[in-house]
Chains A and B, each alone.
Chain A
Amino acid sequence: MISVGSGQKISPDGKAKIQLQLLLHTGESTTFHFANGSTALKDRDATKELLQQLLPKFKKKANKELEEKNRMLQEDPVLFQLYKDLVVSQVISAEEFWANRLSLNTVEHSLSNNNKQEVGISAAFLADIRPQTDGCNGLRYNLTSDIIESIFRTYPTVKQKYAENIPHNMTEKEFWTRFFQSHYFHRDRISTGQQDIFSECAKQDEKGLKSMVTQGVKNPMVDLLSLEDKSLDEGYGTATVPTTSNSSNKSLRENSNSAIIKRFNHHSAMVLAAGLRSHIIISMCVIYREAPSDQASETSSTDGNSRDSDFFQPPLKKVKLQESIEYDDLQGDSGRQTIALNLKKSDRYSHGPIPLQSQHYTTSQDIINSISIIQHEMRNYKPRLTQVMSSNAASSAITALSPGGLLMQGGGQQTINQLVPTDVQSELKHLYTAAGELLRHFWSCFPVNTPFLEEKVVKMKSNLERFQVTKLRPFQEKIQQQYLSTNLTGHLEEMLQAAYSKFQVWQTRRMMRKT
């Protein structure tokens, strides 16, 4: 792999040996000797060119990986501790440590890469193109790639034009010159000629605006059309009769003014939309998904089926209405806004947690048998009334057994944090995380179905053993010296034992299969 190459050297042109030397990250270097005579020089140069292009990319990648690892270690103290415990003390190698981590992380990473916040568009990007007079009756516009990007994102039609015309019809410079000359850029100028390539853009924009308008608004609280309960018929009222808005009625100036206003609304909407592209896609999906259901409802209404009235009120409307009438300060503490309890298994909720038992599968025959036994027992049940407790005694027993009752104090069990000094505690914590990490590696190998995993599981087993010897044992000795109960590590040992026994089972099975 040359991917770690950090640089290359070539032999001077005059030399007989045509060589290319690559410097690797690790400090080693590899030298290639181009030997096929006449074309050697050419080959070498071509290789060099290619490498020159590729190397920065790989470099970036390698660096990125290192950076990423570094960042993860810095951000996560627990991971850092784990790294120290496992890698620095050479329980497992660095690759092993990261192999699992990074794969976990790359998923996240790629996700976050997808959701990477795009840089929004400044609303004033057109203003940033400051025209400067060049002294001889002309204007100079300064375009940067950022601005062009902004223009394309805000006005997709321009991008389309650009793609159509460049480079076969005109040069890029010509394109932008025309753009700045067009009425499309100066919206207050009324379109005159048809030869302007941007007149189509303007039309498209108009269409877009219109479709936006006809789409209507989702939030009914801002829908001015349904604001008024219009009950005055045409002809009644003092409001002046709406003038038929043909453009001949208006002066040129008024026309251009309203064009400016329209343009600003459109521009702002487009800028906003460009920043929210992904949202729009989502909302479009939603609309798309809603559309068929609408149709369904249409059909159901024609055949007179009754529907829930909620169906009529879109939920958004309800939410908005609710928002608009809420007085949060008049309401009592918000604690009452409880989160709905989401029960997956309601019977488990009402019976309380039952300790998980090793799975016993009962056949239906078993169940029937046991029921008949119980039935039988119940039939023979006779309360021995002489030995029943008095109700007083019973209730006191129940109180004693209730939480906080006499018998529920938990005996003399003092919690571990009172008994054990803090340094031991923290060490124990580290041990737990380290062991957990190793065990995770170990268990993730099962089911073992590839040779790679086989290899890994064996390695992990040895890692575990090494951990037990180098980490756990010294700790046990230490707590013994301090006369603490060895019970502390009991659970750890159990976990390790469980892993060993699993490994044992797996190995014997493998042996059997091999034999």
Chain B
Amino acid sequence: MIPKLCYFLKLLVFIILNNLILKLKLNIDGLLVYFPYDYIYPEQYSYMLELKRTLDAKGHGVLEMPSGTGKTISLLSLIVAYQKAYPLEVTKLVYCSRTVPEIEKVFNIIYIFITHCIINSYFKIAFQIHFSSVKYLSFLALRFGKEVDGKCHSLTASYIRAQHHSNPSQPVCQFYEEFDAVGRQVPIPPGIYNLDDLKDFGRRKGWCPYFLARYAILHANIVVYSYHYLLDPKIADLVSKELAKKSVVVFDEAHNIDNVCIDSMSVNITRRTLDRCQTNVETLQNTISRIKETDAAKLREEYSRLVEGLKEANVARETDMYLSNPVLPDEILQEAVPGSIRTAEHFVGFMKRFLEYLKARLRIHHVVQESAPQFLKDIYEKVCIDRKPLRFCAERLRSLLRTLEIADIADFSAITLISHFATLVSTYSKGFTIIIEPFEDRTPTIANPVLHFSCMDPSIAIKPVFGRFQSVIITSGTLSPLDIYPRILDFRPVTVASFTMTLARTCLCPLIVGRGNDQVAMTSKFETREDFAVIRNYGNLLLEMSAIVPDGIVAFFTSYIYMENIVASWYEQGILENIQRNKLIFIETQDAAETSMALEKYQEACENGRGAILLSVARGKVSEGIDFVHHYGRAVIMFGVPYVYTQSRILKARLEYLRDQFQIRENDFLTFDAMRHAAQCVGRAIRGKTDYGLMIFADKRYARADKRGKLPRWIQEHLTDGSLNLTIDETVQLGKHFLRQMAQPFRQEDQLGLSLLTLEQLQSEDMLQKIAQIAQQA
């Protein structure tokens, strides 16, 4: 019995040792940081140093570090440590990521991180921090369908609840009532909650998880959600309005942040929207006349409230630091709603007029492009609508819907959209453009008029974020060239740095294939992309690669139509058949569900050793959100340079704007945009230091300095002069050699001291010097 006990004690000691000594305690520039792993990558250390500097300076930062080097965990460790050390300086971490899996990953990392630290504090040796006394909350998207929204609204709207007081038979949402009664007083027990946990918690307490989540955001120490909750003014107003100024905001995977900003401010109006809006207006009119007969006092009350001005709202907003809403700019609040739209009927009439005007505008046969002031001038001349009432449209509509006690607001999305458009177009004279297209470019015979109200300046949407929070960190694996983001987002960062990946073996092998074996140049340039020889050479490249690369190959095309054409001609030429001898072929389609299926089958085929090829599209869903780790992607082939479709009028307008406002030349921006997507695509295959993969750029234009120079540093580094303009044969030779080398066993010891450090190694003098070189300031 005694030996058993000894053994048990040993086990216990082992556990304690594991959690106390093996985990790293780092000294980052005088800050004690707990790192939940036994080893650390040098670049992580360097990243944390830069991050700390940014936080110290209370400024913004742009940091580029390759994916798979533990960006997220570095970010979390440092910011949480900072939060602990200076609780008054940094109160909250708001972590924004783009896709749902990405958010869930972050959440799980937090989980690992916190659990490790809790174990530590439990044993109370040398640990002062009690992480368990802090609340951690991860907040995922509240994905309710429209119907649920409407249903929810019909049970929780303030007037319904008021009615419930006088008439208990009126149904209300029990969950919300319960929450409203006690939920705000009772603190949520500390812990990590994702949406499911919150739902579960809400169910146990009988509280509405939605309102619980919105409330909890204000009190959590860490919030993880998607971009829209901060960038989209319509949502941010509800969700993120009361976030404290002393928060650190992190935008991860931020290489597309400008597009998110633009998306959140742009509006498209089709004929269908207008038709639906028409019915909405009619419903409103009917409701108003009905209410007028029964309850005229209500409308009068609203009128007088509007005369008073939106004073209450104004007071609430003056407590500073609420995210200002671009749809509802601050200046609006100083004034009362103009008289012309103050009564309900007048407003409905006003909307009708506006609607008719838009209908007339959509009835054109040629493309029209105009600025917001031009539009306003035109609307004034044609239907005598002033700028001022337009600006109040959104707010006035909301007030009206509230007064009319229309429960199911989901139906009114069309008229809401129109009112938002009205407010936007009259508020911003710069940075937006209006394009009316009578038909799609590809189908000039079919009338399908669309009014694009397009934002061209991403800085408009993100400005309040930069203005409000003391530190905003923009980070991603591919942000090169680093200087362009501060320019297009219009902010002044205190740190701009790019980190390389330290490698014990060169596990990535970028190759630029410029020619086929017949010496015909390979390029997706518009003039030659349909060239028979180019298509055949592309096919041969894929065929040759399919013979030498094990498991999975992912190939990206520049656009969906281009891929369709190439696949068709490969089919005719019999190239696909030959490829099928080596691997199965799966192809991305425009249907997301179908593509998901293909993707899963692709992974299955890689998994069981059969091997497969996935043909996909740059800028598509796959290239943006799916990782091809290890055998899921041993080679990525980028067919052509993924330029955006340059004939699009919206893009042209945006390029013009960029040139005029930010002095960014069209070509520079287009190349930048193409290269960031190319880098995204090829970067999908390398997801860590133990991973390896070929990166094949199949276009001779990649060899040019202006393209090559825009690739992220961690790819550029490995692009030697010898691999700039290869033929297919040479590529195959190099690829074979590389793959053979990489297939050798790779152990942790091989990395140790080079790309993987223990604490002792980290503290050595020359290592610190080396680390200083990892970060490259732009």
Contact = CB atoms under 8 A, between A and B. Distances in A.
A209 B448 CA distance: 31
A229 B612 contact: no
Interface residues of B, number: 110
A306 B200 contact: yes
Contacts of B226: 229, 231
Interface stretch (A330-338, A410-418, A478-486): A330-338
Contacts of A241: 268, 270, 450
Interface string A438-477: 0000000000000000000000000000000000000000
Interface stretch (A16-24, A75-83, A269-277, A383-391): A269-277
Interface string A225-252: 1111111111111111101010001000
User: For the complex, would chain B's binding face be called helix, strand, loop or mixed by DSSP majority?
Assistant: helix
A37 interface: no
A283 B141 CA distance: 31
B467 interface: no
B84 interface: no
Contact of A260 (B2, B455, B567, B756): B567
B731 interface: no
B200 A325 contact: no
A223 B596 contact: yes
Most buried by B among A257, A330, A352: A330
Given A258-B589, A332-B22, A120 B748 contact: no
B583 interface: yes
A272 B109 contact: no
Given A265-B586, A329-B756, A124 B601 contact: no
Interface in B87-141: 98-101, 103-105, 108-109, 112, 140-141
A327 B751 CA distance: 13
A238 B452 CA distance: 8
Contacts of A330: 37-41, 70, 756
Given A264-B586, A329-B690, A214 B593 contact: yes
Contact of B585 (A216, A229, A268, A276): A268
B22 A306 contact: no
Given A231-B226, A260-B571, A313-B196, A238 B266 contact: yes
A233 B417 contact: yes
Contacts of B40: 330
A243 B448 CA distance: 9
Contacts of B586: 264-265, 268-269
Contacts of B300: none
B599 A224 contact: yes
B440 to A, nearest CB: 7
Contact of B601 (A226, A237, A269): A269
Given A249-B443, A309-B199, A329 B748 contact: yes
A233 B568 contact: no
B625 A350 contact: no
Contacts of A264: 567, 576, 585-587
Interface stretch (B398-406, B478-486, B525-533, B603-611): B603-611
B250 to A, nearest CB: 16
B729 interface: no
B598 to A, nearest CB: 5
A276 to B, nearest CB: 7
A327 B269 contact: no
A64 to B, nearest CB: 30
A309 B3 contact: no
Contacts of A222: 596, 599-600, 603, 626
Contacts of B443: 249
Nearest to A237: B263
Given A309-B197, A330-B41, A330-B70, A231 B228 contact: yes
Given A235-B267, A261-B564, A265-B594, A220 B417 contact: no
25 contacts: A123-B580, A124-B577, A127-B574, A209-B594, A216-B596, A217-B599, A219-B603, A224-B621, A229-B100, A229-B141, A229-B228, A232-B228, A238-B259, A238-B454, A241-B270, A261-B567, A264-B585, A268-B586, A306-B204, A321-B108, A324-B627, A330-B756, A332-B37, A398-B2, A402-B2
Given A257-B567, A308-B200, 7 more contacts: A123-B580, A222-B599, A233-B417, A235-B417, A249-B443, A306-B200, A330-B40
